[in-house]
Structure formats: C-alpha cells, structure tokens
Amino acid sequence: MSPPPSSSAEIDSKSDVPVGPHGRPLGFEEALAELEAVVDRMERGDLSLETSLADYERGMRLHRYCQIMLSRAQQKVEVLVRRVESPEPGDLSPFESDRAGGNTADPSRNGPVPHTEEHGDGRS
C-alpha cells in the first residue's frame, strides 16, 4: 500500500471523492461523520484484521478528502479577506454589485429617502 497523498493535494478524479451507501458522493459533513465512526470502530479493537485494514483504507480516503475540502475552504476565506482588505477596481461584493447594478431608483434597496423639504400642499 502506498503512503497517503499530502493534504495539500487536489482531488484528482471522481474516484477520489468518497461515496456513501446511497451511491452519491459524500459532502464534507457526511465524510467527517463517517471518518469519526471509522475511528470509533477501530479504537474499540474488536474488528478482524481484514475489517481493520478496510476501515483503515476507508478512513485514510475520508481523511484526505476532508483535508482537501478544508484546504479549499481556507483558500476561499483567504481570497475573501484579501478582497475586503484591499479591494481592486471591479472587485465588488454581491451587496455592492446589487447597489451598482441600476437598482438605485428603488429607494427600498438603498435605505430610507432623506426628508429634504416640505411642499406648500402638505406633500413631502
């Protein structure tokens, strides 16, 4: 058996994404929960050698997948933080783009309309 790839590796193919008993790829939370279950089973120590090896292999695959997903999330957060700390022209957040996208005529989108003057007929 070869050593597990580093946690900074990318998911190379669909075969690297763990699949659950329902036949669809696992999400991060599902993979983490399954990994915890595998660890619990192995820590009890009442498994056969074959089952222990299969669980170890599954656990390593789940671990790698979770590490990659966490690494991707961390990279996204770092990009978002950099955008907030030093925005570049054209680098708008979704909220800013909503306001700049031509919706300025709708006062409800931009907050209350300031009261400027009273007309003689009682209108504002």
Domain boundaries, the chain: 14-87
11 torsion bin: left (phi>0), alpha (psi -120 to 50), beta (else): beta
* Per-residue confidence (pLDDT) for residue 109, from 0 to 100: 39
pLDDT: is 2 or 49 the higher one? 49
DSSP structural state of residue 15: G
AA letter at 6: S
pLDDT band at 1 (very low <50, low <70, confident <90, very high): very low
Calculate the CA 3 to chain-centre distance: 27
* Per-residue confidence (pLDDT) for residue 70, from 0 to 100: 96
Does residue 3 have a pLDDT over 60? no
Residue pLDDT, tens place only, 19-67? 888 889 999 999 999 999 999 999 999 999 999 999 999 999 999 999 9
77 token code pair: 């957060």
Tell me which residue has tokens 């222990």. 52
* Per-residue confidence (pLDDT) for residue 86, from 0 to 100: 83
pLDDT band at 94 (very low <50, low <70, confident <90, very high): low
* Per-residue confidence (pLDDT) for residue 105, from 0 to 100: 40
What top-level class would CATH report for the domain 14-87? mainly alpha
